[in-house]
Structure 1
Amino acid sequence: MHSTKLGWLLLAPTLLVLFFFGVLPFIYVLYVSFHQWNPFAVNPDMVFNWAENYRRVVFDAQFLASLGVTAAFVFFAVISELILGYMLAQAFMKDFPGKAIFRTIHTLPLIMAPIIVGSIWKLMTTPSIGILPNLLDNWFGYDLNIGQSAIAAFVTTVIMDIWHWTPLVTLTLIAALVSLPPDPFEQAQIDGANKRQIFWHITLPMIRPAILATVFIRLMDALRTVDEVLMLTGGGPGSATRYVGVHIFKEVFPRTNYGYGSAISVVVLYLTIVACWLLYVGLIAPRNKKA
């Protein structure tokens, strides 16, 4: 009984922080989502409008289009980061000249704020002064202009996200690979298994929890991408990079439509939870049943 009280006492500061900075803001956003509210309008009062904001979300073509673009962005970014992160993690498991320096340089993007990342890529992709347009033009004769080409803008935002967050995936998978016991691998080599068989039947099942946790983190982060995309493309050209986070930002701040923006935020949170649950059911539940 004493140990239970001590445990709750130690958890109390964390629970209070989560309550005040997590639960209360969510309740407030949920409350605002049932109102029409523009604090800068002639009538700044909240007007209760039942579920009108949610009905509007369902039939908002611009929001639905942003969902599609966001899904494509999340798919390409997260899959690429997972593959590159695993390859780099395997490379860092071996000794090679300059490993410490390269590992430090590889981790640097991770400590940068998203707004800084967007600024760097804005400078690198500006046609008149950017290094990328000049290199692509000199080497391949390709005119990179993310302000005019929707495909180029989308691909650039995906590459920017990969550059920014692959180090996180690498560090997570390195920790998972280092913790693996050597006995199964030695036994597999004695039995004559090749590298592909060892990866699919030993390495991948053993690091699956770490992969799942990494995908969860990156999925949630990618779905709320705002800062770097706003700095790089502003959501354009057109709506090519108007991801869900950018769409919410533009509804809340330039248009000062707080009620509708809150409703979109709640819907996106729900969709994120559903996506994570489906991922869990698809990857973890079958393994638990076999066990």
Structure 2
Amino acid sequence: MQSKTLGWLLLAPTLIILFFFGVVPFLYVLWVSFHQWNPFAADPGMSFNWATNYRQVVFDAQFMASLGVTAAFVFFAVVSELIVGYLLAQAFMKDFPGKAIFRTIHTLPLIMAPIIVGSIWKLMTTPSIGIIPHLLHNWFGYDLNIGQSAAAAFIVTIIMDVWHWTPLVTLTLIAALVSLPPDPFEQAQIDGANKRQIFWHITLPMIRPAILATVFIRLMDALRTVDEVLMLTGGGPGSATRYVGVHIYKEVFPRTNYGYGSAISVIVLYLTIVACWLLYVSLIAPRTSKKG
């Protein structure tokens, strides 16, 4: 009994912080989502409008379009980060000249604030002064202008996200690979298994929990991408990079539609939870049922 009491006492500070900085803000946003509220209007008071905001979301063409481009952005960004991150993790498992320096440089984007990342890529992709348009024009004869080409803007935002967050994936997978026991790999090599078979039947199943945790983190982060994209493209051209986070920002701040923006935020949170649950079920449930 005393050990349980001590455990709750030790957890109490964390639970209190989570309650005031997690639960309370969510309940407040949920409350605001059932109101029509513009604090900068002539009448700054809240007006309770039941589920009108949620009903409006269903018929919001811009929001539905933002969901589509966000889903595409999340898919390509997270998959690319997993592939590149795993390859870099395998490379860092080996010794090569300049490994420490390269590893340090590789980790630098991870410590940068998103708005700084967006500013860097804005400078690098500006047609008149950017190094990327200059190289693409000289090497391939391609004139990059993310302010005019929707496809180019979408691809550049994906590359920017991969550049920013691949170090996180790499570090997570390095930790998973280092912790693997050597016995299964040695036995597989003795039995004549090739590298592809070892990867699919030994490495991948053993690092599945780390991959799943990494995908959850990156999925949630990618769904709420705002700062970098606003700084780089502003959500344009048109609505090519108007991701869900950017759409919410533009509803809440420029249009000061706090009630409707809160309703969209609650729906996006629900969709994020559903996406993570579906991912968990698809990757973990079949494995658990086979064991049973």
What are the Cα deviations for residues 128-158 of structure 1, in whole angstroms up to 9, with x where unaligned? 0000000000000000000000000000000
The aligned counterpart of 1:4 is 4
Residue of structure 1 equivalent to 2:127:
127
- Once the two structures are superposed, residues 220-277 of structure 1 have per-residue CA deviations (whole angstroms, 9 ceiling, x without a partner) of 0000000000000000000000000000000000000000000000000000000000
Tell me what 2:175 maps to.
175
1:79-111, Cα deviation, whole Å (9 max, x unpaired)? 000000000000000000000000000000000
- For residue 115 of structure 1, give the secondary structure of its aligned residue in structure 2: helix
Which residue identity is paired with 1:44? P
Post-superposition offset of 1:19: 0.3
Secondary structure at the residue paired with 2:22?
Answer: helix
Distance in 1 of aligned mates of 2:215 and 2:160: 18
Per the TM alignment, residue 176 of structure 1 is displaced from its structure 2 partner at its CA by 0.2
In structure 1, the residue matched to 2:164 is 164
- Residue identity opposite 2:15 in structure 1: L
Per-residue CA deviation, residues 145-172 of structure 1 (Å, 9 max, x unaligned), is 0000000000000000000000000000
The one-letter amino acid of 2:163's match is W
Correspondence 1:89-168 to 2 at 5 A = 89-168=89-168
Counterpart code for 2:55: R
Separation in 1 of the partners of 2:17 and 2:243?
A: 30
> Could you tell me which residue of structure 1 aligns to residue 75 of structure 2?
75
Counterpart residue identity of residue 54, structure 2: Y
- d(CA) in 1 for partners of 2:127 and 2:89? 34
Distance 1:182 1:3 in 2: 38
TM-score by length of 2: 0.99
Separation in structure 2 between the aligned mates of residue 152 and residue 290 of structure 1, nearest angstrom: 44
Counterpart residue number, 2:209: 209
Q: TM-score, normalised by structure 1?
A: 1.00
Residue 79 of structure 2 is aligned to residue 55 of structure 1: no
- Distance in 2, matches of 1:45 and 1:212, equals 44
Q: Which amino acid aligns with 1:128?
A: S
* 1:290 CA displacement: 1.3
Aligned counterparts of 2:26 and 2:219: Cα–Cα separation in 1: 20
| Correspondence for 1:29 | 29
Q: Deviations over 1:181-218 (max 9, x none)?
A: 00000000000000000000000000000000000000
Unaligned runs of 5+ in 1: none
Query: Gapped runs of 5+ residues in structure 2?
Result: none
Name the count of aligned residue pairs.
Answer: 291
The CA distance in 2 between the partners of 1:127 and 1:157, in whole Å, is 16
1:126 and 1:98 map into 2 onto residues whose CA distance is 32
> SS at the partner of 1:129?
coil
CA RMSD of aligned residues (A): 0.3
CA distance in 1, matches of 2:277, 2:111: 29
Corresponding residue number in structure 2 for 1:268: 268
CA–CA distance in structure 2, aligned partners of residues 268 and 58 of structure 1? 12
Residue 289 of structure 1, CA deviation: 1.1
